[in-house]
Structure 1
């Protein structure tokens, strides 16, 4: 983490994520496993702030809100309702009540998400930041009050969003320490993430790709959050400085207030509104800032006396009327030594919609928002029903007994008063959403319409607020979408098949490749493109030239005059050579590369891993070294569902003698090994360990294979061919076979992997995160 904008300015990244909040942090963590990521957060770190991190101070961080630096930024909608935005790493997950609950199954279906992948993404989040709560006496009371009011059934502790009364998860652990979405960054690759704090994005940088007639996002312009708006800095996507189509994406995760505002400031939005601020129109998208919603909230005080009770965030929820009403209770501080006891209800699916507009060209200032609370008649009608239910909870015997006969509750007399109460007292549940909705501003893959390389991944894309509250689903969304975004980057390639490809064999003396141009590089000084050989000669594609002591170069077409050469560098140097070339070129596990002082080009931890060699056991049909012609195998026995393969041949061991092995190989071993560099000279073999028969299943199958092999060697056909005098290998009893297998395991010379599909290369054999780089072979 850094707050030094100079440290980031001018650098390039595979992905730039704007907003280190509830969705941005998990997205950055997941993308960083294979790609470089810049995460820009306008606020600071939460970890040193006890008002954020300690449960006993719940609500205290909201007392002081200033213009540029407080962890919560206050705003008042045109409706006159005060609201808050998170302005800290972790976003609203650092200032909310910490209640964790998943989205309903219906929400997942509407969103078009894969249910199995959603479940895995939730579990990824929950394993890191979610805990079962320890209910306080007030939460037990609220639980009984909800049940007494008829909010049934009782579901106990569950993370699912289901009708009835439930106990949800919490991001506060058993010691009362908050775990925000910022904690999810620990699940990423720290070597691939830079988190820039206290920096506010001013606008997205675009450029036009004239060849394809498309607008591309290429980076961001940002300022210091406590600086002047005139002093700007830039960060760009990988390839933006030298390519018409940058790799990766700029991803907005700045929330329902931030993301629409950044789009507008960048010239993406309704033309009429942009012209008011003299913002050049990049893409005319009329729905940016529209379809904005906030869930109307009505709150009644179970005890309106400002007593000094411990702060208590909600841990129990009542979910009623087909998931339309959600009721929670807490103890909320209103000063350093006084609290209130509200019971609050929210309307989950409001029809009323509002709009967001720019208020200023300064990105640190709040935009203007109007939510139009309860403007639709259906919303007002449901609000009345919701308040009637809320009143039953507040008036319940459980609440009355707990607070005592003296408690002063809000009492409403007659339903005729409720419509007016709703309109007069509507508040926010802080779950506002929309403004960049799927289907109007972004597509189903969260890509902004009309712009390449720009996405929005946060609550601004939601048409409704998921679950009891959106925190769980926003955390999940960051983890869910990252693999999809990664796959799209891996598919980026030239739109037409390349006319040429350059093949590098394992005999290159330097062994290191420039992975953008396909040119060999030296560890200390990268050589420049050499001049033409003679005046007037053509600079021929693929021409090799001597360039220093014992080193030569060959280039891809276009490498002399383009940062995106035609064709590709294709490694076909085998299971030993190709991983070694990648490692020597700076593509592999950072820890291993650092041992040889190899500059890290791409951190790919699986280069050289998952190495396998098919274990082989060989018995001699005749162990006498006879002088016979060499004879290669031409017949194969394949058995046990293709698991065992047996061949026989005549193998010379000297100029005038040969042996007669019958060899069997295990076709699908589970044991895996690893390849590591032994030297920076590619002519030297790397170090490999295959871990033959280390898996119990492999040893078991090897024993079966040995028994089968023995039957072949002992067959009547073999005996008749060699005659009664032949000396064959004889195995007595299957109890000897495990030891024989371990002692005599050999290779069938069919070693493979080290650059496996799915971990080092994609299904098109392209190395992850590298342009024009493929691997063909084992």
Structure 2
């Protein structure tokens, strides 16, 4: 990918276009976005320079940037995150993920592997639902992808001025941090957003008061006169203009509002205007297929008019497997989400969460590893039926409060190298497609999981962590405790390599970092333009070949800003050359 050689040349000109007056910190109070409306207020037909489908982690910064010089329509299928305490407050983490109503900001789906997962349905996307960890991609990732390093750093900083904070380190997280150092996850890199081997304290999108800041807050950067945001506006298809033997050209979208009324939005007839899909790893390949760009056999099966036979749409789907060990504590621990990470050389990331996440006053209601949000490790994936979930929730509700004192230490497999695919179930964009991730299909992923569990064992046995474990519970017993319950007793494995492999398979969960489906070099080029058609890009995590850093949200937000600046730069260069 060619880097932005024009950046220094047009820096001064772009500074005038992209300048932001002053700095700010978005607060718990909802911002006064004059450009945000319910889609029921939209006209039947409208025209814009850019139409962005998906107001998520990439779509919001992208829209804010492009609005500085062009008219932008941002279409979000969900509602606003503002005023919803289940999104705003750290203490309510998990409440939104456990909400199974049709209007929930989180839409649950279950992969064909049997692992329960969730996709965002809210302005701000996954940044409204996640555990908040903020960390950049590794330098080698940036280099391998071909991004311009200077613009990447500037784009990260643009994001960080609004949404990133240094977490308050307390006893549990400090014990995990020091335990990782004793376990050999070295060196200690202190607090940093950068991706570096060893142990570090990362950033968080929760501020010092425990209030979440999301990609939607980045819309504060927008030019209000250049942006229209429509909520509850699911897009049903991209419209293409096809003339003779010329390449299909995207020129409009069809979306519906909450009352079911149909609306059309078109691109203005100006060169370089585009439609950009930023609907996420499930939504972007799904929308391409619904619009006629995808595997011919799937399009034919659902009577979708074929625009382009593109068999690689929906391929390369991956989800980073997560496995955790629950450690009951003899002493009280703080409520914390992910703050510390151990970045190992063998390809596993070690992280931790502690305490119960309160909602409605009870610590058993919602936690990062609660069956109420689908995180059920006590039965194998294929056995996580609604009945099994209900039984696990009932058992959890009957436990004493002391049973929730403690925390989880987890490992996430880097990459991963195992991949799967996505297919349509029907023609309704509001329904989940079928997705298979093939967890641990490749032996390297399973090997990394085993090594990660062994690293967790060393942390648990370390001296700095000793005050948070019971002397009469060894690691083997903790493994069995994590992987069994009265609902379904799994075989009691001893602590061997073979047993740890089985532990990984039986207890695998998601950490919500799935990606792929519209990958660079397969579905889009290095400028994220869809191969084989014109005026259409995909800019989001569906383009990733593997997940960047220990948490991708910082990089997805950065990518929205990065590509917005790059698009503006290219248009400015074109206008200058035409003169």
TM-score, length of structure 1 as denominator length: 0.60
Partner of 2:160: 126
Change (3 A) 1:215 1:304: farther
In structure 2, how many angstroms separate the alpha carbons of the residues matched to 1:458 and 1:382? 27
2:185 is the counterpart of 1:151: yes
Kept in 2: contact 1:102–1:161 (CA 8 A): yes
Query: Which digits, 9 at most, give the CA deviation of each residue in 1:177-197, with x for residues without a partner?
Result: 111011111112111111111
Kept in 1: contact 2:91–2:358 (CA 8 A): no
- Greater fraction helix: 2
Partner of 1:174: 208
2:197 is the counterpart of 1:163: yes
1:762 to 555, 567, 576: 576
Partner of 1:215: 248
Partner of 2:491: none
Kept in 2: contact 1:8–1:235 (CA 8 A): no
Unaligned 5+ segments in structure 1 are: 240-244, 493-760, 766-778
Report how far residue 310 of structure 1 moved: 5.8
In structure 2, how many angstroms separate the alpha carbons of the residues matched to 1:102 and 1:475? 10
Partner of 2:62: 27
Change (3 A) 1:363 1:438: same
In structure 2, how many angstroms separate the alpha carbons of the residues matched to 1:302 and 1:39? 44
In structure 2, how many angstroms separate the alpha carbons of the residues matched to 1:484 and 1:78? 38
In structure 2, how many angstroms separate the alpha carbons of the residues matched to 1:368 and 1:111? 28
Report how far residue 394 of structure 1 moved: 3.0
**Deviating more after overlay: 330-339 vs 342-351:** 330-339
In structure 1, how many angstroms separate the alpha carbons of the residues matched to 2:43 and 2:544? 31
Report how far residue 416 of structure 1 moved: 2.8
Partner of 2:263: 233
2:528 to 446, 455, 464: 446
1:385 to 451, 475, 495: 451
In structure 1, how many angstroms separate the alpha carbons of the residues matched to 2:93 and 2:538? 30
Kept in 1: contact 2:172–2:333 (CA 8 A): no
1:73 partner SS: strand
In structure 2, how many angstroms separate the alpha carbons of the residues matched to 1:118 and 1:409? 42
Partner of 1:355: 421
**Deviating more after overlay: 184-193 vs 246-255:** 246-255
Q: Relative contact order (alpha carbons < 8 A, sep ≥ 6): 1 or 2 greater?
A: 2
1:325 to 348, 360, 363: 348
Partner of 1:112: 146
In structure 1, how many angstroms separate the alpha carbons of the residues matched to 2:45 and 2:358? 45
Partner of 2:430: 364
1:214 partner SS: coil
2:304 is the counterpart of 1:269: no
2:39 is the counterpart of 1:4: yes
Change (3 A) 1:77 1:308: farther
1:409 to 445, 463, 478: 478
Report how far residue 60 of structure 1 moved: 2.2
In structure 2, how many angstroms separate the alpha carbons of the residues matched to 1:402 and 1:380? 28
1:299 to 324, 329, 332: 324
Report how far residue 116 of structure 1 moved: 0.9
Kept in 1: contact 2:276–2:538 (CA 8 A): yes
Partner of 1:337: 363
Report how far residue 105 of structure 1 moved: 0.6
**Deviating more after overlay: 374-383 vs 153-162:** 374-383
Change (3 A) 1:154 1:112: same
Change (3 A) 1:394 1:221: farther
Kept in 2: contact 1:60–1:333 (CA 8 A): no
Aligned-residue Cα RMSD (Å) equals: 2.1
In structure 1, how many angstroms separate the alpha carbons of the residues matched to 2:264 and 2:326? 49
Partner of 1:484: 566
Kept in 1: contact 2:293–2:306 (CA 8 A): yes
Kept in 1: contact 2:172–2:334 (CA 8 A): no
Higher CA-based Rg: 1
Query: Which digits, 9 at most, give the CA deviation of each residue in 1:252-301, with x for residues without a partner?
Result: 11110110000010010010111110111101111000011111111111
In structure 2, how many angstroms separate the alpha carbons of the residues matched to 1:93 and 1:126? 13
1:85 to 119, 127, 131: 119
In structure 2, how many angstroms separate the alpha carbons of the residues matched to 1:402 and 1:149? 16
**Deviating more after overlay: 427-436 vs 296-305:** 296-305
What pairs up with 1:39-58 in 2 under 5 angstroms? Answer: 39-58=74-93
**Deviating more after overlay: 429-438 vs 330-339:** 330-339
1:156 partner SS: strand
Partner of 1:257: 282
In structure 1, how many angstroms separate the alpha carbons of the residues matched to 2:249 and 2:414? 37
Query: Which digits, 9 at most, give the CA deviation of each residue in 1:421-467, with x for residues without a partner?
Result: 11222211211111000000000000001111100000000001001
2:555 is the counterpart of 1:473: yes
1:409 partner SS: helix
Report how far residue 237 of structure 1 moved: 0.9
Kept in 2: contact 1:290–1:436 (CA 8 A): yes
Kept in 2: contact 1:217–1:451 (CA 8 A): yes
In structure 1, how many angstroms separate the alpha carbons of the residues matched to 2:297 and 2:498? 43
**Deviating more after overlay: 109-118 vs 378-387:** 378-387
In structure 1, how many angstroms separate the alpha carbons of the residues matched to 2:189 and 2:123? 33
Report how far residue 398 of structure 1 moved: 3.0
In structure 1, how many angstroms separate the alpha carbons of the residues matched to 2:285 and 2:421? 10
Report how far residue 393 of structure 1 moved: 2.1
What pairs up with 1:620-769 in 2 under 5 angstroms? Answer: 762-765=576-579
In structure 1, how many angstroms separate the alpha carbons of the residues matched to 2:146 and 2:502? 39
Query: Which digits, 9 at most, give the CA deviation of each residue in 1:297-344, with x for residues without a partner?
Result: 111112299x9976421111111025x111110135497432552211
Kept in 2: contact 1:100–1:170 (CA 8 A): yes
Change (3 A) 1:422 1:380: same
TM-score, length of structure 2 as denominator length: 0.80
Change (3 A) 1:178 1:282: same
Report how far residue 144 of structure 1 moved: 1.6
Kept in 1: contact 2:40–2:259 (CA 8 A): no
Kept in 1: contact 2:295–2:310 (CA 8 A): yes
Query: Which digits, 9 at most, give the CA deviation of each residue in 1:645-689, with x for residues without a partner?
Result: xxxxxxxxxxxxxxxxxxxxxxxxxxxxxxxxxxxxxxxxxxxxx
Kept in 2: contact 1:327–1:345 (CA 8 A): yes
Kept in 2: contact 1:39–1:196 (CA 8 A): yes
Partner of 1:427: 509
In structure 2, how many angstroms separate the alpha carbons of the residues matched to 1:415 and 1:304? 26
In structure 2, how many angstroms separate the alpha carbons of the residues matched to 1:63 and 1:141? 30
What pairs up with 1:411-560 in 2 under 5 angstroms? Answer: 413-490=495-572
Count of aligned residue pairs for this structure pair: 485
Report how far residue 227 of structure 1 moved: 4.3
